[in-house]
Amino acid sequence: MKFVLGACIVILTVMVAGAVFFVVPPAEGLGNLVRIAFLHIPAAWVSVIAFFMSAWWAAAYLRRGNIRDDARSFSSARLGFVFTLLATVSGAVFSKLTWGAYWNWDPRQTTILVLLLIYGAYLTLRAAMEEYNRRARVSAVYSLFSFLTVPFLVFIVPRLFFSLHPTPVLNGSGSVDMDPVMLVTLFAAAADATLIYIWLLLKSSRKEEKI
Protein backbone atom coordinates (compact mmCIF):
# COMPACT_ATOMS: atom_id res chain seq x y z
CA MET A 1 0.00 0.00 0.00
CA LYS A 2 2.70 2.47 1.02
CA PHE A 3 4.83 1.54 -2.03
CA VAL A 4 1.90 1.95 -4.44
CA LEU A 5 0.95 5.28 -2.89
CA GLY A 6 4.53 6.53 -3.04
CA ALA A 7 4.90 5.41 -6.67
CA CYS A 8 1.67 7.20 -7.64
CA ILE A 9 2.89 10.38 -5.94
CA VAL A 10 6.25 10.31 -7.72
CA ILE A 11 4.70 9.67 -11.15
CA LEU A 12 1.98 12.29 -10.70
CA THR A 13 4.43 14.87 -9.34
CA VAL A 14 6.73 14.45 -12.33
CA MET A 15 3.79 14.70 -14.74
CA VAL A 16 2.38 17.81 -13.03
CA ALA A 17 5.79 19.52 -12.85
CA GLY A 18 6.38 18.82 -16.53
CA ALA A 19 2.96 20.17 -17.47
CA VAL A 20 3.27 23.28 -15.29
CA PHE A 21 6.69 24.32 -16.61
CA PHE A 22 6.60 23.08 -20.20
CA VAL A 23 2.98 22.66 -21.33
CA VAL A 24 0.67 25.11 -19.56
CA PRO A 25 0.39 28.32 -21.61
CA PRO A 26 0.79 31.77 -20.02
CA ALA A 27 -2.55 33.12 -18.80
CA GLU A 28 -4.02 36.33 -20.17
CA GLY A 29 -3.23 39.17 -17.79
CA LEU A 30 -1.02 36.99 -15.57
CA GLY A 31 1.52 35.57 -17.98
CA ASN A 32 3.79 32.95 -16.45
CA LEU A 33 2.76 34.02 -12.93
CA VAL A 34 -0.21 31.69 -13.36
CA ARG A 35 2.15 28.80 -12.59
CA ILE A 36 2.05 29.73 -8.91
CA ALA A 37 -1.63 28.78 -8.90
CA PHE A 38 -0.73 25.12 -9.41
CA LEU A 39 0.88 25.17 -5.97
CA HIS A 40 -1.38 27.69 -4.26
CA ILE A 41 -4.79 26.24 -5.16
CA PRO A 42 -3.98 22.56 -4.39
CA ALA A 43 -2.44 23.59 -1.05
CA ALA A 44 -5.60 25.49 -0.13
CA TRP A 45 -7.76 22.57 -1.31
CA VAL A 46 -5.87 20.04 0.82
CA SER A 47 -5.99 22.29 3.89
CA VAL A 48 -9.82 22.20 3.77
CA ILE A 49 -9.77 18.40 3.40
CA ALA A 50 -7.31 18.07 6.27
CA PHE A 51 -9.36 20.22 8.64
CA PHE A 52 -12.53 18.33 7.71
CA MET A 53 -10.87 14.97 8.36
CA SER A 54 -9.48 16.26 11.65
CA ALA A 55 -13.02 17.11 12.76
CA TRP A 56 -14.29 13.76 11.46
CA TRP A 57 -11.77 11.79 13.50
CA ALA A 58 -12.27 14.10 16.47
CA ALA A 59 -15.96 13.14 16.49
CA ALA A 60 -14.96 9.47 16.16
CA TYR A 61 -12.64 9.79 19.16
CA LEU A 62 -15.34 11.38 21.32
CA ARG A 63 -17.67 8.56 20.37
CA ARG A 64 -15.30 5.58 20.71
CA GLY A 65 -12.29 6.81 22.68
CA ASN A 66 -9.90 5.09 20.26
CA ILE A 67 -6.30 6.37 20.38
CA ARG A 68 -5.98 5.87 16.62
CA ASP A 69 -8.79 8.37 15.97
CA ASP A 70 -7.08 10.94 18.18
CA ALA A 71 -3.75 10.40 16.42
CA ARG A 72 -5.35 10.85 13.00
CA SER A 73 -7.29 13.91 14.09
CA PHE A 74 -4.19 15.59 15.47
CA SER A 75 -2.01 14.61 12.50
CA SER A 76 -4.62 15.87 10.04
CA ALA A 77 -4.99 19.20 11.84
CA ARG A 78 -1.23 19.65 11.90
CA LEU A 79 -0.96 18.88 8.18
CA GLY A 80 -3.87 21.24 7.50
CA PHE A 81 -1.93 23.98 9.28
CA VAL A 82 1.17 23.26 7.16
CA PHE A 83 -0.79 23.27 3.89
CA THR A 84 -2.57 26.49 4.92
CA LEU A 85 0.80 28.06 5.64
CA LEU A 86 2.01 26.91 2.22
CA ALA A 87 -1.07 28.42 0.58
CA THR A 88 -0.50 31.67 2.49
CA VAL A 89 3.16 31.96 1.50
CA SER A 90 2.53 31.13 -2.17
CA GLY A 91 -0.37 33.59 -2.17
CA ALA A 92 1.88 36.28 -0.68
CA VAL A 93 4.47 35.70 -3.41
CA PHE A 94 1.75 35.98 -6.06
CA SER A 95 0.51 39.16 -4.36
CA LYS A 96 3.97 40.71 -4.45
CA LEU A 97 4.47 39.91 -8.12
CA THR A 98 1.04 41.14 -9.23
CA TRP A 99 -0.01 43.83 -6.74
CA GLY A 100 3.39 45.08 -5.55
CA ALA A 101 3.13 43.98 -1.90
CA TYR A 102 3.27 40.67 -0.09
CA TRP A 103 0.29 41.58 2.09
CA ASN A 104 -2.69 43.79 1.21
CA TRP A 105 -5.23 42.71 3.86
CA ASP A 106 -7.30 41.39 1.00
CA PRO A 107 -10.38 39.47 2.32
CA ARG A 108 -8.87 36.11 1.35
CA GLN A 109 -5.53 36.99 2.92
CA THR A 110 -7.28 38.10 6.09
CA THR A 111 -9.50 35.03 6.42
CA ILE A 112 -6.64 32.62 5.80
CA LEU A 113 -4.64 34.43 8.50
CA VAL A 114 -7.55 33.93 10.91
CA LEU A 115 -7.58 30.25 9.96
CA LEU A 116 -3.87 29.99 10.74
CA LEU A 117 -4.43 31.61 14.13
CA ILE A 118 -7.31 29.25 14.97
CA TYR A 119 -5.36 26.09 14.18
CA GLY A 120 -2.12 27.52 15.54
CA ALA A 121 -3.99 27.92 18.83
CA TYR A 122 -5.15 24.28 18.51
CA LEU A 123 -1.57 23.06 18.19
CA THR A 124 -0.43 25.28 21.07
CA LEU A 125 -3.28 24.15 23.30
CA ARG A 126 -2.57 20.49 22.63
CA ALA A 127 1.14 20.91 23.29
CA ALA A 128 0.42 22.61 26.60
CA MET A 129 -1.45 19.61 28.09
CA GLU A 130 0.52 16.60 29.29
CA GLU A 131 -2.21 14.22 30.49
CA TYR A 132 -3.27 12.19 27.45
CA ASN A 133 -7.02 11.67 28.05
CA ARG A 134 -7.64 15.33 28.85
CA ARG A 135 -5.50 16.46 25.91
CA ALA A 136 -7.32 14.15 23.50
CA ARG A 137 -10.79 15.19 24.65
CA VAL A 138 -10.08 18.92 24.65
CA SER A 139 -8.35 18.69 21.26
CA ALA A 140 -11.29 16.78 19.78
CA VAL A 141 -13.83 19.34 20.97
CA TYR A 142 -11.64 22.21 19.76
CA SER A 143 -11.22 20.56 16.35
CA LEU A 144 -14.97 20.15 15.94
CA PHE A 145 -15.73 23.78 16.77
CA SER A 146 -12.78 25.03 14.72
CA PHE A 147 -14.00 23.34 11.57
CA LEU A 148 -17.31 25.20 11.83
CA THR A 149 -15.37 28.34 10.89
CA VAL A 150 -13.68 26.82 7.84
CA PRO A 151 -16.58 27.06 5.33
CA PHE A 152 -17.23 30.67 6.34
CA LEU A 153 -13.57 31.74 6.22
CA VAL A 154 -12.73 29.92 2.99
CA PHE A 155 -15.91 30.03 0.89
CA ILE A 156 -18.35 32.62 2.24
CA VAL A 157 -16.71 35.67 3.90
CA PRO A 158 -14.20 36.40 1.05
CA ARG A 159 -17.11 36.59 -1.41
CA LEU A 160 -18.95 39.18 0.65
CA PHE A 161 -16.34 41.88 0.02
CA PHE A 162 -14.40 43.28 -2.92
CA SER A 163 -11.24 41.27 -3.47
CA LEU A 164 -8.16 41.63 -5.65
CA HIS A 165 -7.91 37.84 -5.56
CA PRO A 166 -8.68 36.24 -8.95
CA THR A 167 -11.92 34.24 -9.03
CA PRO A 168 -12.92 31.49 -11.49
CA VAL A 169 -14.89 32.75 -14.48
CA LEU A 170 -17.91 30.68 -15.55
CA ASN A 171 -18.97 30.40 -19.16
CA GLY A 172 -22.52 30.20 -20.45
CA SER A 173 -22.87 26.50 -19.60
CA GLY A 174 -21.90 27.09 -15.97
CA SER A 175 -18.48 25.43 -16.20
CA VAL A 176 -15.16 27.13 -15.44
CA ASP A 177 -13.89 29.20 -18.38
CA MET A 178 -10.26 28.01 -18.38
CA ASP A 179 -7.86 26.62 -20.94
CA PRO A 180 -8.43 22.81 -21.00
CA VAL A 181 -4.72 22.10 -20.50
CA MET A 182 -4.65 24.37 -17.45
CA LEU A 183 -7.80 22.82 -16.04
CA VAL A 184 -6.53 19.25 -16.41
CA THR A 185 -3.17 20.22 -14.91
CA LEU A 186 -4.90 21.90 -11.98
CA PHE A 187 -7.00 18.80 -11.26
CA ALA A 188 -3.88 16.64 -11.50
CA ALA A 189 -2.01 18.95 -9.12
CA ALA A 190 -4.91 18.82 -6.65
CA ALA A 191 -4.97 15.01 -6.86
CA ASP A 192 -1.20 14.90 -6.32
CA ALA A 193 -1.42 17.19 -3.28
CA THR A 194 -4.22 15.04 -1.88
CA LEU A 195 -2.13 11.87 -2.24
CA ILE A 196 0.81 13.60 -0.57
CA TYR A 197 -1.50 14.55 2.32
CA ILE A 198 -2.68 10.94 2.65
CA TRP A 199 0.90 9.62 2.63
CA LEU A 200 2.03 12.14 5.25
CA LEU A 201 -1.07 11.46 7.34
CA LEU A 202 -0.49 7.71 7.43
CA LYS A 203 3.15 8.21 8.38
CA SER A 204 2.45 10.88 11.00
CA SER A 205 -0.55 9.21 12.65
CA ARG A 206 1.31 5.90 13.05
CA LYS A 207 4.10 7.75 14.77
CA GLU A 208 1.63 9.52 17.08
CA GLU A 209 0.02 6.20 18.08
CA LYS A 210 3.35 5.01 19.44
CA ILE A 211 3.94 8.06 21.62
Burial of residue 167 (number of CB atoms within 10 Å: 0-12, 13-18, 19+): exposed
Give mean pLDDT, residues 106-135: 95
The percent of residues above 70 in pLDDT, for the chain, comes to 94
Give mean pLDDT, residues 57-70: 96
> Is 139's pLDDT higher than 80?
yes
Domain for residue 126, yes or no?
yes
Domain for residue 12, yes or no?
no
Nearest to 158 by CA among 115, 102, 96, 121: 115
Domain for residue 171, yes or no?
no
pLDDT-derived band at 190, boundaries 50, 70, 90: very high
The pTM assigned to this predicted structure is 0.92
Tally of domains within the chain: 1
pLDDT-derived band at 30, boundaries 50, 70, 90: confident
Q: Is 89 left (phi over 0), alpha (psi -120 to 50) or beta?
A: alpha
Three-class SS of the chain: CHHHHHHHHHHHHHHHHHHHHHCCCCECCCEHHHHHHHHHHHHHHHHHHHHHHHHHHHHHHHHHCCHHHHHHHHHHHHHHHHHHHHHHHHHHHHHHHHHCCCCCCCHHHHHHHHHHHHHHHHHHHHHHCCCHHHHHHHHHHHHHHHHCCHHHHHHHHHHHCCCCCCCCCECCCCCECCCHHHHHHHHHHHHHHHHHHHHHHHHHHHHHHHC
Domain for residue 142, yes or no?
yes
Domain for residue 75, yes or no?
yes
**What residues make up the domain containing 125?**
43-159+191-210
148-158 confidence digits (pLDDT tens): 999 999 989 88
> Is 88's pLDDT higher than 90?
yes
Domain for residue 175, yes or no?
no
Domain for residue 87, yes or no?
yes
pLDDT-derived band at 211, boundaries 50, 70, 90: low
Q: C-alpha angle 24/9/72, rounded to 5°?
A: 125
Domain for residue 134, yes or no?
yes
